[in-house]
Amino acid sequence: MSEVTSDVRISKQNASKPPPSVLGINVEKPKFPQYAVISKRKESFESWPEYLPVKMEDMVESGLVYTGVGDSVRCYFCGGGLRNWEKGDVPMEEHAKYYPKCPHILLVKGKAYVEKIARGEKPETDCADGISSLSNSVDSSDLTDSVAAQSCIDMGYSKEIVKRAIDIFINRHGNNHFKGRDICEIIFDIEENPEKYSPDATTNTEAEETTQLNEDNEPLETIETLLDENERLKEQYTCKICLDRRVDVIFLPCGHMVSCPQCAPALTKCPVCRRTINGQLKAFMSVINTKIKK
């Protein structure tokens, strides 16, 4: 009698455990694994009609493959099909709207993104990457949250002076593909030649900022060391497959994190330990602002 009771108790415990999908763990395999690689999905769009209102690049990022018929596409992972594209359609959003359980969408964007789409809300642009290229249309105030800008803020510089340096970089280069070193070099130049950046006399506020920077400024050698360390950290969190996007997929059961969501589905074994990948979990990284103490 005791053994039967024990079996019932174990059965109840197993029944109470949530399935992997509820925990955000993907254990499914792509229905069309040959298109799990981005380059293969791009090849499918070679005959994509140019008059259609949706860009091929956006389709590829959304995990969609061109079927070769009209404007019909199909997801390489969930197998869901979409067609009749109209101007203003966002492939990622349409994919999430009609196939909210698609593992590709959940790995790339996360459950919160899918839930916003389901509620009819417009999801915010994902700018937390810091490694991927940012759109030139993004306001410089938003760019102060990037990894490169945060590395300068963490060194004691005010958010206002970092924003000013970002504006100068964008005006000079016509893009916002800056690194921490670029922003710091502009800040150094602002300190040494304030008249170069302002046709009028320096305001009291700017003078106070410059004074504060001079007081808290670290030796040049220390700053270069910190910037080099920042670059090493960025490399560490860059996908080892495409060498472009941020690493934010955890392989299970080994726990290694070496790939971005776009590259992860194409892997069957972990590149680090060579163990078979039985599940994938999207990781969310947060930036913690810390002041460097002398």
Asked whether residue 98 is domain-assigned, the answer is yes
* Average per-residue pLDDT for the chain: 78
Same domain, 146 and 84: no
Residue 253 has pLDDT above 80, yes or no: yes
Asked whether residue 190 is domain-assigned, the answer is yes
How do residues 58-72 score in pLDDT, each as one tens digit? 999 999 999 999 999
pLDDT band at 29 (very low <50, low <70, confident <90, very high): very high
Edge-to-edge strand order for the sheet containing 249-252? Answer: 25-26, 279-282, 249-252
Domain final residue pick, 63, 83, 118: 118
With pLDDT > 70 as the criterion, what percentage of the chain qualifies?
74
Nearest alpha carbon to residue 82 among 59, 110, 111: 59
Domain final residue pick, 235, 250, 269: 235
- Structurally, the chain folds into a number of domains equal to 2
Same domain, 206 and 145: yes
Same domain, 43 and 103: yes
Asked whether residue 31 is domain-assigned, the answer is yes
Domain containing 32 — which CATH number?
Answer: 1.10.1170.10
Q: Quick one: pLDDT at residue 206?
A: 47
Residue 221 has pLDDT above 70, yes or no: no
How do residues 94-117 score in pLDDT, each as one tens digit? 999 999 999 999 999 988 899 999
**Amino acid in the structure at residue 204:** N
Q: Could you tell me the residue range of the domain that residue 99 belongs to?
A: 20-118
Same domain, 95 and 29: yes
Same domain, 148 and 230: yes
Same domain, 159 and 100: no
With pLDDT > 90 as the criterion, what percentage of the chain qualifies?
39
Q: What is the CA radius of gyration of the chain?
A: 24
Domain final residue pick, 118, 152, 180: 118
pLDDT band at 264 (very low <50, low <70, confident <90, very high): very high
Same domain, 165 and 219: yes
Asked whether residue 252 is domain-assigned, the answer is no
Nearest alpha carbon to residue 257 among 267, 272, 269, 243: 272
Same domain, 99 and 149: no
Which sign does the torsion angle of CA 42, 44, 46, 49 carry?
negative
How do residues 231-246 score in pLDDT, each as one tens digit? 777 777 888 888 888 8
Contact present, 265 and 14 (Cβ < 8 Å): no
Same domain, 84 and 162: no
Nearest alpha carbon to residue 181 among 137, 151, 212, 211: 151
Same domain, 44 and 108: yes
Asked whether residue 189 is domain-assigned, the answer is yes
Contact present, 254 and 281 (Cβ < 8 Å): no
Asked whether residue 212 is domain-assigned, the answer is yes
More confident call, 201 vs 38: 38
How do residues 155-194 score in pLDDT, each as one tens digit? 778 888 888 888 888 888 777 777 777 888 888 888 877 7
Q: Which residues of 191-205 are buried (b: 16+ CB within 10 A; e: fewer)?
A: eeeeeeeeeeeeeee
Asked whether residue 276 is domain-assigned, the answer is no
pLDDT band at 43 (very low <50, low <70, confident <90, very high): very high
Same domain, 188 and 229: yes
Same domain, 146 and 229: yes
Asked whether residue 284 is domain-assigned, the answer is no
Strands (E), the chain: 25-26, 64-66, 73-75, 81-82, 249-252, 279-282
Q: Quick one: pLDDT at residue 256?
A: 92
Nearest alpha carbon to residue 248 among 152, 128, 150: 128
Contact present, 104 and 113 (Cβ < 8 Å): no
